[in-house]
Amino acid sequence: MITSIKEFSNDVVKEMKKVSWPNKEQLKESTVVVLTTCVVISVFVWFIDTGMTFIIKTIF
């Protein structure tokens, strides 16, 4: 059990060394893309929700 945990930990360390981490500029760009996408989707969902609410209230 202990040897398998050590082996797993060693494998994790090896794989983490292979990871290509983004630089600060790439991270900023990705953050802007994610936040913009979240805002656009939120506005879309709000618009659909408002429209559906209006339709349901009109019917009933």
Model confidence band, residue 2 (pLDDT cutoffs 50, 70, 90): confident
Identify whether 21 is part of a domain: no
Inter-CA distances, 23 with 2, 11, 20, 28, Å: 36, 25, 9, 9
Would you state the pLDDT for residue 12?
96
| Domain around 39 | 33-60
Would you state the pLDDT for residue 39?
98
pLDDT digits (tens, 9 = 90+) for 7-48: 999 999 999 999 999 999 999 999 999 999 999 999 999 999
Would you state the pLDDT for residue 1?
86
Counting the structural domains of the chain, the total is: 1
Identify whether 43 is part of a domain: yes
Identify whether 1 is part of a domain: no
